[in-house]
Structure 1
Amino acid sequence: MATDLAFDPRFPVGDFHKPASISADDRLAAIATLRELPVKLREAVAGLDDAQLDTPYREGGWTVRQLVHHVADSHMTAFHRMRKALTEDWPAAAGYDEARFAELPDSALPIDASLAILEGLHTRWVAMLQGLSEEQWQRGITHSQNGPQSLDLLALLYQWHSLHHTAHVTNLRRTKGW
């Protein structure tokens, strides 16, 4: 674990590093994290008032409210990309401007809308991933900025993403004493 002197609030669980290989156990751990994300994120934001939700999680960062909506946006996109990968041969996946998404009017809504999306979405996502064959795990997308990405790599990436953004909130709460 990083010491407070080495702690980088941008990456509270460290940066994502692509593993040399991905095992079935790695995939199971990723699925478990994806299953837990809706509950963990809801717990992380529980009891926060509007002023706290509108506080940036770090200097120059999004507000907690924007972050919750971002997780829903990002995970909906990932789920859709993975479904396309299972039904098309390495489909193209365009990136999107996450920062501009966070400025759209719906990012000012109460966070319950996105928390509800995550609950339903992750139920479906986990069910889909649990049913994949070894061959299906090796299918993937061709991302416009990151190149080819297999489904097993994407599962690990979104495992990290889930932990990363939940830690943004829990770290803010710890530092603010909330």
Structure 2
Amino acid sequence: MEHLKYPIGKFKSPEIINETLIKEWIKAIRDFPTQLKLEIKDLTPSDLKKTYRPNGWNIMQVVHHCADSHMNSFIRCKLALTEDTPTIKPYHENLWAALPDANNPSVESSLIILEGLHQRWTLLLDSLNADDLNKSYFHPESKSFVNLKTTIGIYAWHCEHHLAHIKIAKTS
């Protein structure tokens, strides 16, 4: 079951995060909306209800979750850049995934959000210097400080993680 929950493994932050790695991660974030659209372009409303594992989210919930999650991350990045180590507001992603908007087979609105959001987000990420990349926020659930360079890696992983979920669900 763990391989279905984490088909590409859990995110592990490398000991050294260099400029090349950050650029690769930003590219993964930049390319995500296009890759996501390609993965779901021919799916029917019935296909969008397929899950990647028992008791897991269906494809439409994954798409809507990505819009929710990536909006939160973009805001967390902006908070870290404009405030002194802010404490971020966690959210209950499973409860969000159960709301009516996340169970709507029309995923077009979330695709539009992701496209515009990722354009702005990667524009911001591309502009960050070394000092900016070391700015952090405090995550009260993990009780840890997370710097922006690690956040970029987490969300590059997050993109690939959910693309893998969709690919698995399409074959079920």
TM-score of the two chains, using structure 1 as the length reference: 0.92
Letter in 1 for 2:116: G
Q: How many residues are treated as equivalent by the alignment?
A: 170
Letter in 2 for 1:138: N
- What are the residue-to-residue correspondences of 1:66-77 with 2, within 5 Å? 66-77=61-72
**Structure 1 alignment gaps of length 5 or more:** 1-5
- What are the residue-to-residue correspondences of 1:118-129 with 2, within 5 Å? 118-129=114-125
Q: Distance in 2 between matches of 1:63 and 1:11?
A: 15
Q: Partner residue of 2:31?
A: 36
How far did residue 7 of structure 1 move? Answer: 7.8
Q: Partner residue of 1:131?
A: 127
Q: Partner residue of 2:19?
A: 24
User: Residue 46 of structure 2: SS of its match in structure 1?
Assistant: helix
* RMSD between aligned residues: 1.3
Answer yes or no: is 1:96 the counterpart of 2:91: yes
Q: Distance in 1 between matches of 2:89 and 2:114?
A: 22
Aligned counterpart for 2:107 among listed residues 105, 108, 111? 111
Q: Distance in 1 between matches of 2:5 and 2:41?
A: 22
User: Residue 76 of structure 1: SS of its match in structure 2?
Assistant: helix
Moved over 6 A (4+): none
Q: Partner residue of 2:55?
A: 60
Q: Distance in 2 between matches of 1:132 and 1:70?
A: 26
Q: Deviations over 1:61-103 (max 9, x none)?
A: 0010001000000000000000010000110012211000001
Q: Partner residue of 1:49?
A: 44
CA contact (8 A) 2:58 2:169 kept: no
Q: Partner residue of 1:87?
A: 82
User: Residue 148 of structure 1: SS of its match in structure 2?
Assistant: strand
Q: Distance in 2 between matches of 1:70 and 1:39?
A: 16
Letter in 2 for 1:139: K
How far did residue 33 of structure 1 move? Answer: 0.2
How far did residue 18 of structure 1 move? Answer: 2.0
TM-score of the two chains, using structure 2 as the length reference: 0.95
Aligned counterpart for 2:155 among listed residues 152, 155, 158? 158
Q: Partner residue of 1:3?
A: none
User: Residue 142 of structure 1: SS of its match in structure 2?
Assistant: strand
